[in-house]
Amino acid sequence: MDSSLSAHRDNKNGPACAFFIASDVRGLSGKKSSVSIPSFNLGLSSKSSDVKNGAFKMHEYDKCVRCGSCLQHCPIFEVTGEEQFSPRGKMYLIQVMDLIEQDEELAKEFRRVLFQCTLCGRCSEVCSSDVDLLHVWHEQRAKATGTAPLEFEYLDALKDALANVKNIYGLDPEDRAVYWMDEVEDDIPNIEDRVYAPGKTADVMVFLGCLMSFRSTQIDVVKALLKTLERTGTDYLVMGSEEFCCGHPLHLIGDESGAETLRAHNKSVIHDAKAKKVVTTCPGCLIQLSKYHNLENVDALHHTQFFDQELESTPSTTRTEEFAYHDPCELHRILGISEEPRSLLAKLNVNYREMDLACCGGGGLLRMTDPNLSEKVIQLRKSKENLQETTVVTACPSCREQLLSTGLETVDIVELLDEALEGGSE
């Protein structure tokens, strides 16, 4: 999965990236920078917009004024130090796309760069011109995979798995239920009764998602979640083998029709079960359930929202180590859920410090499209936050995987909740 861009990135004394060469031709300095890009011929920018019936139609990307406010917040620019990976750099390239597309190699490099991004949304949040950058990245990814499918053949295994067995790992759908049921039956002997089958109904449907269903690293969180649901007397079912992937991975690569097929099945199961709420621990799944499944009269909730609503108070944690809270990007920035996790931590009397609201490097499918880059982001984060002696609390299985990969102590909030409700930390 090496690329000429990666090669340039790793060779600090090596040749400038092809983009810089193209940029230089057009008077762009091309150097990585905290310095602002000089303005260029406005005629180039206007080419990216449409003139229809004499009316000038402004594209979202035309709104970028190249102020550079986004640079310091982009995790990819932070680890690469190269402008073409930054929001501003990509905005510039889109503005001169007419010219980029005349050069096959440049167009190819640009398409690759689009997938070297975590879709963390921080650029959208800080943009001085209010550019909806996340929307632009999604739009451009869809265009890239549609225009040059051969360049994205490495995503075919993922697409095939989702089309055939409906999970990202390509495993038998039956295993989605079996794996975690085996693991939790000691704690919840009647767990089989909690697995959805046609005709069964419940107030709450638990949507585990692919990571939680199949990754052994997540089993402690699954156990804590289900035990806490039992303790709170919740009437719930888990979708089991009837759960299909939520469609988020396909959404991230612009395959909306593939995602829609998965969503339609999940929607019918949730409605058949007459659920009033669907609860998930995964912010990616929650984006799909709350924004794209078009559920009727069903509240889609993150588990921190659900338990914060259910529990007015909780016993205090008996854990005494140092904690820090890592706020998952998709949870707080895209879904706007930031109060409930902190409210639960306050109820648990957890002393924690806030971390920078920065990305862990695990979003946007980056771990698949450029694992080295993803690793660099989390390693830099780890050293900047000085986390060696700290337990990182989070509320996202994907962030948790990323944090665990660096050897950090990591817990999901529901694990702290489960321990406290059980009478103290184990």
The footprint of ligand SF4 (CB under 6 A) covers 64-70, 73-76, 87-88, 91, 117-123, 127-129, 131, 133
Q: Is 295 strand, coil or helix?
A: coil
- Least Å distance between CB 133 and ligand SF4? 6
Of 135 and 231, which has the nearer Cβ to ligand SF4?
135
Q: Is 240 strand, coil or helix?
A: helix
Among 275, 273, 276, 297, smallest CA distance to 199 is for: 273
Rounded to whole angstroms, the Cα distance separating 54 from 291 reads: 36
Of 48 and 261, which has the nearer Cβ to ligand SF4?
48
Q: Which residues have C-beta within 8 Å of that of residue 419, sequence separation ≥ 6?
A: 224, 317, 318, 319, 425, 426
- Least Å distance between CB 211 and ligand SF4? 21
Of 128 and 201, which has the nearer Cβ to ligand SF4?
128
- Least Å distance between CB 252 and ligand SF4? 11
Count other Cβ atoms within 10 Å, centred on residue 156.
10
269, two tokens? 């199961």
Owner of token pair 């950090």: 408
- Do 290 and 331 contact (CB within 8 A), yes or no? no
Among 128, 48, 147, smallest CA distance to 95 is for: 48
- Least Å distance between CB 339 and ligand SF4? 23
Q: Is 206 strand, coil or helix?
A: strand
34, two tokens? 């905290």
Of 140 and 234, which has the nearer Cβ to ligand SF4?
140
- Least Å distance between CB 412 and ligand SF4? 23
Of 21 and 67, which has the nearer Cβ to ligand SF4?
67
Residues 404, 182, 396, CA angle at the centre, nearest 5°?
30
Of 133 and 414, which has the nearer Cβ to ligand SF4?
133
Q: Which residues have C-beta within 8 Å of that of residue 45, sequence separation ≥ 6?
A: 62, 95, 96
Of 120 and 387, which has the nearer Cβ to ligand SF4?
120
- Least Å distance between CB 49 and ligand SF4? 16
End-to-end CA distance of the chain: 42
Count other Cβ atoms within 10 Å, centred on residue 424.
12
- Least Å distance between CB 254 and ligand SF4? 15
- Least Å distance between CB 414 and ligand SF4? 27
- Least Å distance between CB 406 and ligand SF4? 19
DSSP structure string for 98-138: HHHTTSHHHHHHHHHHHTSS----HHHHH-TT---HHHHHH
Of 115 and 180, which has the nearer Cβ to ligand SF4?
115
Of 65 and 188, which has the nearer Cβ to ligand SF4?
65
